[in-house]
Amino acid sequence: MTFITNVSGFVPAIAATATLLAAAPDASAEALTITDIAGRQVTLTEAPDKIILGEGRMMYSIAAITDGNPFEKIVGWKDDLIQYDPDAFRKFQSAFPDDADRMINFGNPYAGDFSVEAVLEAEADLLLLDAGNLFKAEETGLIEKLDKAGVPVAFIDFRRNATENTVPSLLILGRLLGEERGALEFVDFYVAEMRKVTNVVDQIPAEERPLVVIENAAGWQNDFCCWSFGPYNYGRFVELAGGTNFASKLANAYSVDISMEGIIDADPDHIIGTGANWAEAKPEVTSTLLGYEGDPAVNAEKIDALAGRPGFKDLRAVQDGNYHSIYHQFYNSPYHFIAVQQIAKWLYPDDFADLDPQETFDRMHDKFMPYDNSGQFWLSASAPAD
């Protein structure tokens, strides 16, 4: 296995974390100490085998590095995977029906429906939380309460600073789950696939990069325009793919509200909305229903309707056939390199003519995931007829 460490821009912590991993005691040892993504030192008296996930979508990462049953050490979660990516949940359910159905719904760790008593009743020995919610976990007293109850809390991050924190988060998960080899193998795959894009776009001058508007969860709400990302998450994916992210110019923030007037004035080269199968949780959405059960015919109608909304339909990007939609859940998974590859192909079709994100995604499933790939994860709207 070749482990690449000379990677600029998106994984600056690889070398240091890999060194830490090599020097650390084996995960099967009596005690286990890690430094989590929030910089907190977390010590467990023994390797955990009853873990609660603060987000069910952490299963994307756990499954990718686990040799065997990814549910083996998981006792429960917040039910966001079921609510907001039911296609993926049904994939897990089909592969591991007994385990997927036994998951306890512990509720939102940052809200009143999360019970420390339920954690203790499940005899959990670790709670995994998202680093972007560190402040909420501290403000609500959750960490302090669990600390007093003897339940460690560790933070990982596949969302906020995803391209910086995915590699160390995978290595942390590898240690906690006793899946170090799987974590390193996936990291190697991740770095190689990201470099297929960044090696090319690093040579493109800033002034030649196309302007891109990201519409976060396009079609989720119909009463205002629009949610977007600053230089984080999908905003960062755009930048690594060689684009100029419009909302990064407005605020150095994870979430940025942008107006239709602002989009019209900016006149972007490309518009990319995110979509997923939210119709089961919120039937009124008009989003593209991307995911493992995505239907190309259904989504073709939905994306053309999104591109035809007032304000959007006359934009140059729409008129040129550069209104796109991509799977929202790439934003919270370790395989966001698929999104980076596809965005790069949209922005630079000639430079990336030989890059095949679908083949990459299929190969990733064959090598790492416990189920086959299927469905639809991106598409572009039809250019209006003259």
pLDDT tens digits for range 58-98: 999 999 999 999 999 999 999 999 999 999 999 999 999 99
**Helices 337-347 & 357-368 angle (0-180, nearest 10):** 170
Q: Name the percent of the chain lying above pLDDT 90.
A: 82
Going by C-beta distance under 8 Å and a sequence separation of 6 or more, which residues neighbour residue 297?
none
In this structure, the strands spanning 244-245 and 211-215 are parallel
Positive or negative, the Cα torsion across 355, 356, 361, 367? Answer: negative
pLDDT tens digits for range 321-377: 999 999 999 999 999 999 999 999 999 999 999 999 999 999 999 999 999 999 999
C-alpha 362/C-alpha 366 separation (Å) is 6
